[in-house]
Structure 1
Amino acid sequence: MLAVICMTVLFAVMGGTGGTQETTTENYADGWSITFTKKELTSEAGLCIVIPCSFTHSATFKPTSAIWLKCESEPRCRDTYINDVIFNSNKNKRPLFSFRKRVALLEPSFTHRNDCSITINDLTESDTGSYKFRVEGPSANKPAGDGYVFALKKTLMVTSLKQKPQVNVPPALTEGQQTTLTCTAPGLCSGAPPDITWTWRKTGHKDSLITSNDTILKTENHIRVSQGHSSNLTFTPSSEHNGSEVTCQVTFKGNITAMETVTLNVTLTVPPVSTAFTSPVWLWLIVGLVAVILLTILLILLCRYRTSSKDPCCCACRHAQSHGTNQGSASNQRTNQSGAPDDVYLPLQHTDRSVYGVIQHSDGENDPDYIVRHQ
């Protein structure tokens, strides 16, 4: 069962379809041999890769340590050069600094099945190259320790990161109903956990970071490559989220980033009110317009009141005084001759459509010639 699990995860990391992998084997004297997959090994920066490997050894040899070398150049691809060693199961011997804590055996107890497969995490483009395997341990000829370097090499190609995170959005987003978005980082690796961030962009606004909950998905077995990373974003959609964009960005070790953007379509329970007439500028313009209209109506009413006076007496008095002035020469002449005081204007009398004013002389008699009529 363990072997089946190992092969399943191995195909998942290598992009296999689950079928039998073609292999190439190189045999040497005394029962030594090494087997690699024929498939070209390629991966992307920030992710991981598995180099499948198995070996056999002579009956007089007992493997105790597994060593992997990177062949920068053929003459130097030997374990005698410390800069060539990228992994050593012997913890007392340190590998190349740039590969420390990035390389591990797929099967920690490699001697049980002679499985020399390794996984390399947090890949960089500089990891491109050829790799060799060496095994160490006591033998009949060298009880203190012996070693064997297999000549067959396996080439690895690392390209720039092209894979994107996978953002899962529920099929229906309804205003006022809580929902959760999930962002899964590319790759199933056991290296440094990537940094996953969410960014929300509303139309015409700047980006804003959103707090999320990051989780690590692990399988219930010892295989280190079967580990994924995801982040959940839980929120309550509103009209502001409708048509907005949410971006999930995954940052791997070495500042290698990948991102994916989705557009949110929120079903609104109440039609949104246009913001064109709710901005402070429009609000003040509307208030100002209403104030002008009210002031204009007030001025019109005041003007009508003053022109009609709401009291015909005022207009009649003004007409009477005007008429008296026009007839001033005659009345003044009459007053001067009699020596009596000036004429007195009696209060006006109102009829349905006319207003009459009578001028009374000082002798108490009314002068019909000085009746003022105002239509």
Structure 2
Amino acid sequence: MDTKRMIFCLLVAAIISPVFTEEWRASVVKELDALVTSCVVVPCSFTHPKENLPTSRLRGIWHRSTDKNQRIYYEDSTQVLENFRGRTKLLGQLGQNNCTLEITNIKDHDNGPFCFRIELARTETDTSTVDKFSFVESCVTLRMSLPDPPNPTLSHPKTAIQDRPYTITCSVRHTCPSHVPKLTWSRGTADEVTEVHKEISLGYWEAQSILAIIPEEKDDHSDVTCTAEFNGQKTSSATLRLYVKRTENYNHIIIPTVAVIGTAVIFAVFCIFMVKRYKKRIAELQNQEGSVWNRLSECLAGESKGEN
């Protein structure tokens, strides 16, 4: 009986303990590749043991992991490190447990790690703090591994066919959905372009521009370029050379064949006409020969009667 009670208690402890140990939790992406001069959005969410609270009673703080007083974001900008003033802001609503941070104009020393801290005010009017928690085990590090912007990737069928629809997809990965890279084409109109933006993994997004064109014969061996302009005005591009396959044309077969058949028909009609004319002439000659013979016979017959 004691063994059963012990097992039961262990099961209850296993179920209940995470509830208490995980009441204060933050979910923050661990590492992000940052493009210098551009921007980074750090996805962040948190939970707390209190009841649902309005954003007005919550204060969010982002700080260096080594010192919570070295703040890179706070609603009072005078308490923010001078190097980060005007470059950081919260994109999420704290009342919805969203602590997502945006950092613009990335510097090559903005590597972090940076951690999130939450403070709870007594009331909406009394801003004195009654509770606070720093999520020092869930921090983000920025890797300055992108001194230059990544080049777009072009996806397309290998060969274009003349006068048939042809699509080219230009894609580029980035870390700043609040300032999506602008994708432009060296040809085409706005009606021929479709844009798509999607999250591909935590902290990374992909911008796509799909160009739909109808290649002509003159487009063979021409270039199509997609240019990506990132926040901070850095650009990169990728170029595709079009190889246009001409539409199958059978005129080189049809025209000579028709000419030969037409010539043969004309020649046959001419031959038939000549044969008929020849036969008619022979018949006329035969008739003429018969008339002459008849007349000669009559003459001979008349002479014979006269001698008698």
Letter in 2 for 1:243: H
Letter in 2 for 1:98: R
How many Å separate the matches in 2 of 1:118 and 1:51? 5
Structure with more contact order per residue of length (Cα contacts < 8 Å, sep ≥ 6)? 2
Which residue number corresponds to residue 116 of structure 2? 133
C-alpha displacement of 1:198: 2.2
- How has the CA–CA distance of structure 1 residues 47 and 178 changed in structure 2, closer, same or farther, with 3 Å as cutoff? farther
Sequence identity of aligned pairs in percent?
A: 15
Letter in 1 for 2:102: I
Counterpart of 2:136 (choices 152, 161, 164) is 152
C-alpha displacement of 1:230: 3.2
How many Å separate the matches in 2 of 1:196 and 1:98? 24
Which residue number corresponds to residue 233 of structure 1? 211
Which residue number corresponds to residue 304 of structure 2? none
CA contact (8 A) 2:62 2:116 kept: yes
Which residue number corresponds to residue 235 of structure 2? 257
TM-score when normalising by structure 1 = 0.44
Which residue number corresponds to residue 294 of structure 2? none
- How has the CA–CA distance of structure 1 residues 192 and 87 changed in structure 2, closer, same or farther, with 3 Å as cutoff? farther
Is residue 168 of structure 2 the alignment partner of residue 181 of structure 1? yes
- How has the CA–CA distance of structure 1 residues 62 and 189 changed in structure 2, closer, same or farther, with 3 Å as cutoff? closer
Q: What is the Cα-based RMSD across aligned positions, in Å?
A: 4.4
- How has the CA–CA distance of structure 1 residues 47 and 167 changed in structure 2, closer, same or farther, with 3 Å as cutoff? farther
- How has the CA–CA distance of structure 1 residues 168 and 54 changed in structure 2, closer, same or farther, with 3 Å as cutoff? same
CA contact (8 A) 2:196 2:209 kept: no
C-alpha displacement of 1:270: 7.5
C-alpha displacement of 1:121: 6.4
Aligned length: 212
Is residue 46 of structure 2 the alignment partner of residue 54 of structure 1? yes
CA contact (8 A) 2:153 2:170 kept: yes
Report SS of the residue matched to 1:249.
Answer: strand
How many Å separate the matches in 2 of 1:47 and 1:266? 40
Structure 1: where are the runs of 5+ without partners?
1-24, 200-209, 220-224, 272-375
CA contact (8 A) 2:194 2:211 kept: no
C-alpha displacement of 1:249: 1.3
CA contact (8 A) 1:198 1:249 kept: yes
Which residue number corresponds to residue 4 of structure 2? none
How many Å separate the matches in 2 of 1:41 and 1:185? 19
Letter in 2 for 1:42: L
Greater helix percent: which structure?
Answer: 2
Kindly provide the CA deviation profile for residues 316-344 of structure 1, in whole angstroms up to 9, marking residues without a partner as x.
xxxxxxxxxxxxxxxxxxxxxxxxxxxxx
- How has the CA–CA distance of structure 1 residues 265 and 187 changed in structure 2, closer, same or farther, with 3 Å as cutoff? same
Which residue number corresponds to residue 178 of structure 2? 191
CA contact (8 A) 2:73 2:88 kept: yes
Kindly provide the CA deviation profile for residues 10-33 of structure 1, in whole angstroms up to 9, marking residues without a partner as x.
xxxxxxxxxxxxxxx9x99xx973
TM-score when normalising by structure 2 = 0.52
CA contact (8 A) 2:172 2:207 kept: yes
Is residue 61 of structure 2 the alignment partner of residue 68 of structure 1? yes
How many Å separate the matches in 1 of 2:31 and 2:208? 26
- How has the CA–CA distance of structure 1 residues 176 and 51 changed in structure 2, closer, same or farther, with 3 Å as cutoff? closer
Report SS of the residue matched to 1:129.
Answer: coil
Kindly provide the CA deviation profile for residues 115-149 of structure 1, in whole angstroms up to 9, marking residues without a partner as x.
34415366735432122222233349x95431525
